[in-house]
Amino acid sequence: MSPVDLGGRTALVTGGARRIGRAICLALAGKGVRVAIHTRSSEAEARDLAERCSGSIVLRADLADPAERARLVPQAAERLGRLDFLVNNASVYERTPLEELDEPSWERSIAVNLTAPFFLARDAGLRMRAAGSGAIVNVTDWATERPYADRLPYFAAKAGLEAATRGLARALAPEVRVNAVAPGPILLPEGAGDDLAAAMTSATPLGRLGGPEAVAEAVLFLLGHDFVTGETLRVDGGRWLK
C-alpha cells in the first residue's frame, strides 16, 4: 500500500455546508485539499465554511433537479482546475410512515439519495479515469440491511447506493477507487430530544455518539488508501452488533 498524498488535491463534497458534510470539508482542508462545497439552501453557512477552508469554493444545486445536478461536476472541475475526489454526502432523511407514503415522497428520496450520487459518481469517475486517477466515497447508512419501517424510501436508496458503490468500483478500476462510509449514531436528527439521545446511546456498544469527525476520518482513510475499493466501512460504534 502506498498512501495517497492528499495535499494539493481537489474534492467536491455534496451537502458540505452542515453537520457531517462540514466536518468532511474541514478535514479535507486540513490536509491541504481545495474543496468545492455543494449546498442546496445553506449558502451562508457554506460561504462561511469556505473562508475557513483555504482555496475552497461554494456551488449551489438542487440534486433532485437533473439539469442542476448535471452541471455540478463540470463546474467543480472548471473552478478548481481539476477534480481528484468526490464525496457524495448529501441526503434527505424524511420520516415517511408506510400509510402516509406517496409517490412524490418516494421519488424525491430516490432522486437525492440514489440517482444523484450515482450520476455524480459516474460523471466524476469518468473524468478521473481519463485523468489517470481519483477516488470516490459515498456516504450511506449503517442500517441498510435493518431499515427503519418509517423511513423505507431513504433506506431503499441507501442500500441501492451501496450496490452502486460496488458496481462503480468494478467499472472504474483500476484508475478510480470507489468506497462507502456507513455512519451509525453520529448526530441526532434535527429536532430530536434527550429521549432519543439516551436510546441511541444505550443501543450502541461503545456507549456514546460518535461525532461527525469520526466519519470525516473514515473518509480521509478511504481517499488516502490506494488498495481499498468496493468496500463499505461502518462507523457506528458497534451499533450493527445489537
The residues carrying an active-site annotation are: 154
CA distance linking residue 106 with residue 157, whole number of Å: 9
Q: Do 209 and 197 touch, CB atoms closer than 8 A?
A: yes
CA distance 63 to 68: 7
d(CA 207, CA 15): 28
Phi/psi for 112 (5° steps) reads: -85, -40
70 to 66, 116, 155: CA distances (angstroms): 6, 9, 24
Cα 155–158–159 angle (5° rounding)? 85
| Angle in degrees, CA 84, 163, 10, rounded to 5 | 10
Q: Does residue 168 come out as left (phi exceeding 0), alpha (psi in the -120 to 50 range) or beta?
A: alpha
Helix, strand, coil percent content, the chain, rounded in steps of 5 = 50, 15, 35
Number of neighbouring beta carbons within 10 Å of residue 55: 13
Please say whether the beta carbons of 116 and 64 come within 8 A: yes
